[in-house]
Chains A and B, each alone.
Chain A
Amino acid sequence: MAMLEIENLSKFFGDLEVLRDVNISVSKGEVVVIIGPSGSGKSTLLRCINLLEHPTGGEILYQDENITKLGKKVTNYRKRVGMVFQRFNLFPLKTVLENVMYAPMKLNKLPKKEAKDQAMQLLHKVGLENKAEAYPAALSGGQQQRVAIARALAMQPEMLLFDEPTSALDPELVGDVLEVMKQLASEGMTMVVVTHEMGFAKEVADRVIFMDGGYIVEADTPATIFTTPKNERTRAFLARVL
């Protein structure tokens, strides 16, 4: 059964059509990687999935519930779907540990000690337990992004959305973040990842979706997309980036 089902999704910003007739189905445990040129609608699609942008038309079904009609209950849905941003968006006045502890304590009423234990475990997992007391400003971009992943995991999400998680990083810092993401994938986390990291897509994705001009041009296994793409635009894009 599909965990996430997107049907005929469209999105306009004013008169500008940024998503057109998008259909995607994501199964539990699946890693779907979305690639495509800048302005192709990848990020908007991802932001529609957790309703940071509200779709103009179509439906998004999460475990058979149409989330575009949730109204204020959208917060309950967002607790179950984590998101990692390109610019990390850590809370600058909180320490690394507080960043990870805060949401489960405030939203799930997790006792402080448990929240702290869980946060330390997650920081260990992303290799940053020694930075627990540091403030985000003292961390490198790659470290901040790994904290952001730990923060998202602290809510024990069923699915994680990654919006170009390595695009704001210096090249030498990309690897550590991708390692953490690969580990999550191997543990069976359901993931939708917008990225320019073709290596990651080849290695980790169960399915690669190529978007251009606001709609899905081609969706297939990484082996097919990267070796024998059917569409001319996919070929042209891959020829430029690979």
Chain B
Amino acid sequence: MELNFTKAFVTLGPSLWDGIGIVVYITLIGFALALVVALLLAVGRISKNKVLNRILSFFIELIRGTPLLVQFFYIYYVIPMLLNSVVSLVGIDANIQFKPATCGIIGFAINYGCYMSEVIRAAIMAIDHGQREAGLALGFSERQVLLRFIIPPAIRNSVPVFGNYLVMMIKDTSLLSMISVQELLLRTKTFASQTFMTVEAYTILALFYLVISIPLSQLSKIVERKLKQVG
């Protein structure tokens, strides 16, 4: 077997470089939305409203109990069909479709939001009860106490775990090749099938992922250390 990494890199490299733009775009927006979803779910889950609590906990179990890839398929294929048939009931022929990248962002926001909500919830529960009482005793309302004295340190304590989730999300963007997002895996697959440089192509792909994920996880370790120094 003859391997020619240089030749493969000259063609595949620029294509992957373009793909990184899409990966970063989906990851950044997906992660930001996942944080919002996580926070809302976590606050909902610690509320005293039992009905809300049950509904949210069922939803989280539903999402965590099904594969992310299946969820992407569901958002990409099933939800537009359901929406179209609902809309057609009122006599409109809308032909709703989502862009693949949009499906990726929605899927990540919901799936990672559910996982990260449990991290935030645990972090909230771990905040010393005395913080709440000190806030209340000064005259802050329950809501102010939650927003000012409970959630900020809880999120701060969650940051190291969030770093891991961010790296996981970047790697999980490869799943989006299945719904035709032009990310790294799909580009590599196309290249490999056209050139038969299978070994070179997938090795270069793996290196590309490492080049993104290793610095990121190092960065999250540095942030973790910095946070420990203050608190």
Residues of A near any B CB (own CB < 8 A): 50, 52, 72, 75-76, 78-79, 82-83, 85, 87-93, 103, 106-107, 135, 137, 148, 151-152, 155
Contact = CB atoms under 8 A, between A and B. Distances in A.
Given A75-B141, A76-B139, A135-B231, 10 more contacts: A78-B138, A79-B139, A82-B138, A89-B131, A93-B153, A103-B138, A107-B138, A137-B231, A152-B137, A155-B138
A93 B230 contact: yes
B133 A85 contact: yes
B136 A91 contact: no
A153 to B, nearest CB: 11
A72 B141 contact: yes
B139 A78 contact: yes
B231 A89 contact: no
Contact of A85 (B130, B153, B156): B130
B2 interface: no
Nearest to B138: A103
A231 B171 CA distance: 74
Contact of B128 (A50, A83, A89, A137): A89
A85 B134 contact: yes
Contacts of A107: 138-140
A26 B80 CA distance: 69
12 contacts: A75-B140, A78-B139, A79-B138, A85-B133, A85-B137, A87-B130, A91-B134, A93-B153, A103-B138, A135-B230, A135-B231, A155-B139
B137 A78 contact: yes
Majority-rule SS of B interface residues: helix
Interface string B114-155: 000000000000001011011011111100100011001100
A65 B144 CA distance: 25
The 4 closest A-B pairs by CB, nearest first: A79-B139, A89-B130, A89-B134, A83-B137
Interface of B: 128, 130-131, 133-134, 136-141, 144, 148-149, 152-153, 156, 230-231
A90 B139 CA distance: 15
A50, A75, A79, A90 — which one has the most chain B CB atoms within 10 A of its CB? A75
Nearest to A86: B130
B134 A90 contact: yes
B214 to A, nearest CB: 30
Contacts of B133: 52, 83, 85, 89
B231 A93 contact: yes
Contacts of A75: 139-141
B151 to A, nearest CB: 12
A155 B135 CA distance: 12
A93 B134 CA distance: 14
A135 B138 CA distance: 20
Given A85-B130, A87-B130, A52 B153 contact: no
A107 B136 CA distance: 12
A24 B130 CA distance: 26
A148 B130 CA distance: 12
B137 A92 contact: no
B139 A93 contact: no
A89 B135 CA distance: 9
A203 B43 CA distance: 48
Contacts of A151: 138
A141 to B, nearest CB: 14
A26 B139 CA distance: 21
A93 B137 contact: no
B140 A103 contact: yes
Contacts of A89: 128, 130-131, 133-134
Contact of B136 (A78, A92, A135): A78
Contacts of B153: 92-93
B139 A103 contact: yes
Nearest to B144: A106
Nearest to B141: A75
Contacts of B140: 75, 103, 106-107
Contacts of A106: 140, 144, 148
A137 B153 CA distance: 15
A27 B144 CA distance: 32
Contacts of A85: 130, 133-134, 137
Contacts of B148: 106
Nearest to B130: A89
Nearest to A84: B137
